[in-house]
Structure 1
Amino acid sequence: MSQIIDQATRRDFLKQTTGIVAGLTVGSALQDVLAAPPIQPLYSLQLGVYAAYNKATFLKESGCTYIEESVAGFLIPPDGDAQYEKNLQQLRQDHFPIKSYVILLPGSLKTLGPDANHEAILQRTELVLKRAKECGSQYVVFGSGASRVIPDGFDRAIAKAQHIELTKKMAPLAEKYGVTIAVEPLNRGETNFINSLAEGVEIVDAVKSPRIKLLCDIYHMLKEDESPLEIVKYGKHIVHCHIAEKESRTPPGVKGDDFRPYLSALKKINYKGGLSIECFVYTDFDKEAKRGIEVLKQQLSEV
């Protein structure tokens, strides 16, 4: 009986192996199959849009993974604490994350120069970080170009030292609440201080805190003719990114800008964070924001 079973088992084995060998001889040889490189997944990022939170549902349906809000629009609204509580309730109800907040400081609060007001800035920053933590957010963007304009005739070295001193005082607050402050270089049309990734890294390196990092804004890089290679050079510091078209700060797809050299640089540093479309004027928000996300996904898939 066992001999019959053994014969049947051998017949089945021969049928199976014959089929496998035949399959390999049709098309690629076995060595070609084994030598073929694995298929790499398309490069993708978490995509978001800077907008008021009432656009959250639309952006989620349009393919975003998060929204980016402003400090004054969500965390410290003009209508005060009661409005913030309503905002927080809406966030918890909608379950669509706010990854970060822009415009930490109003232009009236100066980080440097003769009118620098560090005490007021630190009070505001602590409230912002506390509420950002309550909202489950990761980043607060420290751009605020009007706050860091070096006045005419003011010593640049002193101004830089003032700004670094302030940022060093912000760092323990960011560490306390577990929210990262992302230093944002801006183009010279908006401010005359911290206009490149290299200058942003000077601040980050001077502060030496795990919660003070760098934001890469591709719009500002384009305005400053800053090479994508700077992203590779300073990639270890970058935690968040913004993007918009160069000419009029429109969303991707309006003018047709090719962002692939900069997206390729992000891929090269294995950047896995967020990429936010940050525009302030739209002709048709719904149409242009949705198109912007589609264009970014397409260009990311091509790098």
Structure 2
Amino acid sequence: MPSLPTLKPGRPVGVVGLGIMARGMVANLKKAGFVVHGFSRTREKCADLIADGLIWHDSPGELAAAVDAVITMVGYPTDVEEVYFGDQGILGAARPGTLLIDMTTSAPSLAERLAEAAAAKGCAALDAPVSGGDVGARNGTLAIMVGGAEDAFEAARPLFEAMGQTIARLGPAGAGQHTKMVNQTVIAGTILGVAEALAYADKAGLDQSAVLDVIGQGAAGGFQLNVLGKRMVEGDFAPGFFVHHFLKDLGIAQQEAGQRGLDLKALKLAIAQFTRHAQAGGREDGTQGIYQSYLR
């Protein structure tokens, strides 16, 4: 395989999918000195990024041909397939030696397929989903869980260090996605617990903010309570991570667990609760929007 790129300030890096999370990642890549190229479905929504120096391309393939590394951060596994394998996709245009990093939360089997297809093209692929939400993306403090070859991981390290704080290679292709399923399973139960606990605090006549200040410093503390719990109390249900994307993740986790003979009851409950919330109009909420289910 051709040698992998040396990724350093001044080198071109592409980002495909410029939604909530990717915007923070783009800002941090630029701050680290990389020349950032971009593509998303709707150019008009990216006008501010273009005005701020993002080099726009009209297709994922056009972008891939111009950069040393491509980062994809799209919505669903079908979107991953489209941007990599489609008619104007990345794999059809990327130069040998290009590093392909899918940071979408997607199916482990698709990550394995992508790694095989990339290798056949003389490229290297990593699955590198993240955790930390919009706050972590903006602050460059994401947890990045990576699957793929060791040499590709080391080549990508400068990009990961620009975007994240906790960075680990967990194994071969697909291992990053499996780790993200573990992460989402933990969050599934935790976010329901936070919503239920705050509903209890409200019905008990407690000052919810005061409760958060106290228990957030104890064993219950963490991002779901300290950050998203605060948003629940403030009635801020704007998306840092969409409910419909969370349901996609939980569906993948349930499928992967089932294939391994696991019956994860808390995960099933979370899927049922979030599905009801989405059907009631909360599809575009952030995950903290589940709190509204306890107010009805």
User: What TM-score, normalized to structure 1?
Assistant: 0.29
More helix by share: 2
Q: Which has the larger radius of gyration?
A: 1
TM-score, structure 2 as length reference: 0.29
